[in-house]
Amino acid sequence: MEINYQHVYVVGDFNLPNLKWLGSDQTVSNITSTSSYPNLTTSVPLDGKKLLLEISRKVECAIQRQLSQFAESLEFNSRKLDDILETVDAFKTTVKEIKKKNIELSNQNKNLVYRISALEQRLQEQEQQQLIKTIDIFNIPFTDNEDLLNVVQKIQQKLELEENIIEVKRFGYNRNNSGKLRVVLPSETAKTKWLTKAKDTKVMVKDILPSASPLTGKETIYISEALTIYNKTLLGNARRELKNSGVYKYVWCKNGVIRARKSEKDQSFIIRTDDDIKALLQKEVHVQPQ
């Protein structure tokens, strides 16, 4: 029989014995397979318990690995936390030591401030004590070739005093300010006489310097006890702040000591520093009454 190769179909493996050649009058559907291979769709029996155990084992292993990694991470973080806590404890200890040292330094500083303040106060008192026999005269106009001793003697005559004049100097003179005459007297008693007479007697420039201009001649000559720069500033502050408060009616200085009083019947208070002024204004009186 002649085979038509144009219509040949191959079924199966070329190397297998069940190879069939189809002629032109045959179709695939007419071929009955004689393959000896098993049917791949045939079901294979499975052991369910064994499978579950295998899955459980693998899951358990995975969990164990995760737990082991977590434990290692936890231990690492725990060590880090311990290091941090140790650092924090060391920091707290350092802070406590710094605070303690700061308190000690603060106390030392307060003590030094107190001692320095006491020394400054003592120096101020000593400086003021050197002026115990000295007075200041204001509003004496400057003149060329002036004879200051003669000027002071004329004022003394006007006050009806007969005291020796130890020394006279002009301070603080400039074009806009005649400054003051600082007069040294023989004693504190002489100074007191000058101050007492000056309160009761008005002396004008024209009484001492007849050649002064009419406007200048009408100015009043003021006399006060000599004060250090510190006490002069303190007295000015006390007068400005205490009198302006409307509470303290009297603020004055006598023998270099500044005092304040609410009224004639009230006790007076000594003012040594600006803090004393603040204390009086705040009604927290812890300055020495006198």
The confidence score (pLDDT) of residue 72 equals: 87
Domain boundaries along the sequence of the chain: 1-35, 52-131, 132-226, 228-290
Q: Is the pLDDT of residue 10 over 50?
A: no
* Confidence bin at 20 (pLDDT 50/70/90): very low
Q: Could you give the percent of the chain with pLDDT greater than 70?
A: 81
Q: Which CATH number fits domain 132-226: 3.30.499.10, 3.40.50.720, 3.60.15.10, 3.30.70.1820?
A: 3.30.70.1820
Q: Give me the mean pLDDT over the 62-80 stretch.
A: 87
The confidence score (pLDDT) of residue 175 equals: 72
Secondary structure of the chain as H, E, C letters: CCCCHHHCCEECCCCCCCCEECCCCCCHHHCCCCCCCCCCCCCCCCCHHHHHHHHHHHHHHHHHHHHHHHHHHHHHHHHHHHHHHHHHHHHHHHHHHHHHHHHHHHHHHHHHHHHHHHHHHHHHHHHHHCCCCEEEEECCCCCCCCCHHHHHHHHHHHCCCCCCCCEEEEECCECCECCEEEEECCCHHHHHHHHHHHHHCCEEHHHHCCCCCHHHHCCEEEEEECCCHHHHHHHHHHHHHHHHCCCCCEEEEECCEEEEECCCCCCEEEECCHHHHHHHHCCCCCCCEC
The confidence score (pLDDT) of residue 289 equals: 54
* pLDDT per residue as tens digits for the range 77-103: 888 888 899 899 999 999 999 999 999
Q: Give me the mean pLDDT over the 9-15 stretch.
A: 45
The confidence score (pLDDT) of residue 33 equals: 46
Q: Give me the mean pLDDT over the 243-260 stretch.
A: 92
Q: Is the pLDDT of residue 138 over 60?
A: yes
* Confidence bin at 248 (pLDDT 50/70/90): very high
* pLDDT per residue as tens digits for the range 40-50: 455 555 678 88
**pTM listed for this prediction:** 0.61
